Amino acid sequence: MAGLETAGPEDVTFLANLKYAPRVRETKAGAIIVDEEFLRHWGGDAPLPCLVSANPYLDFARAVGLFYEAPRPAAGIHPTAVIAADAAIGENASIGAYVVIGPRARIGRNAVLHPHVTIYEGAEIGDDFVAHSQASVREYCRIGDRVILQNGVVVGGDGFGFAKRADGTHEKIPQSGPTIIEDDVEIQSLSNVDRATVGETRVRRGAKIDSLVQVGHACEVGEDNIICSQAGLAGSTRLEKNVLLAGQAGLSGHLTIHEGAIVYAQGGVGGDVAAGTVVAGSPAFEAAIWRRAVTAFPKLPEMLRQLRQMEKRVAELEAAARRGQVQETKENQ
């Protein structure tokens, strides 16, 4: 399997966006995964053998899985691991070097904990869990089945909560509510999902969170959400199903992004977003209007210059009109 540019005669590639169709003539791939729209585009005369798919990107991903499988460490517990006597670990687990598992923690079957993973006291984790090096699961957090934590993920770190005293110093607010991660969630490297002051923070089934994402205390990330790198959710943000946050999107907290909504990259959201809406900009508003606005933005200096010229010309015409009126009055007298 290979991309269009790098594929050779023994490789299969794919095309999921007709925008890149001209590159197909240049690829050296042996075959290509495409949809029926691609065939119509080429009028049945494609330049290489086609594997027709209803979803080329998905089938390309599945094909990659046929050729590559990430290595899985052998089952067993490394002698340098530190595991509390009352912790429970399911069968067929692989516990790597310098892993620490705290008291009363529970981990399901087929878990893979790579070196230097830390599981705090009372954490409960389901089956087929994978945690890469330096990932941490804090006290009393709960994680479902088939969850993947990439390197450096922190589940259940303290929420950012402080109360200001009269003298201007800050009192730390205890963060008592756990973080709940449901089934089939994957969280990429160096992302944080904070615990709640009270209640819980929850990431629902199937959500995918990219690297360097901050999910604040008491947030709810909905089912099958996609949250891209460097996005930030302030406390008590609620995302419904199938929401997409593009890179560096920022949500101010105590708001709801309703089902199927999309926030463009660097969108700054300060209020609720209706279901199915696409928003952009900071502050964010409807993307179609935003596109027209950003198209006009580079033209503003010239528009301002023209406006000033028009104002000057209008002022000259008005002054001339006043002089003409005065002259007409004198003549009438």
Written in H, E and C, the secondary structure of the chain is CCCCCCCCCCCEEECCCHHHHHHHHCCCCCEEEECHHHHHHHCCCCCCCEEECCCHHHHHHHHHHHHCCCCCCCCEECCCCEECCCCEECCCCEECCCCEECCCCEECCCCEECCCCEECCCCEECCCCEECCCCEECCCCEECCCCEECCCCEECCCCCCEEECCCCCEEECCCCECEEECCCCEECCCCEECCECCCCEEECCCCEECCCCEECCCCEECCCCEECCCCEECCCCEECCCCEECCCCEECCCCEECCCCEECCCCEECCCECCCCEEECCCCEEHHHHHHHHHHHHHHHHHHHHHHHHHHHHHHHHHHHHHHHHHHHHHHC
- State how far the Cα of 192 lies from the Cα of 48, in Å rounded to an integer: 45
The number of angstroms, rounded, from the C-alpha of 44 to the middle of its chain's C-alpha atoms is: 38
Query: Which position among 114, 116, 132, 217 bears the catalytic label?
Result: 217
> Residue type for 4, please?
L
132 catalytic? Reply is: no
The residues annotated with a catalytic role in the active site are 217
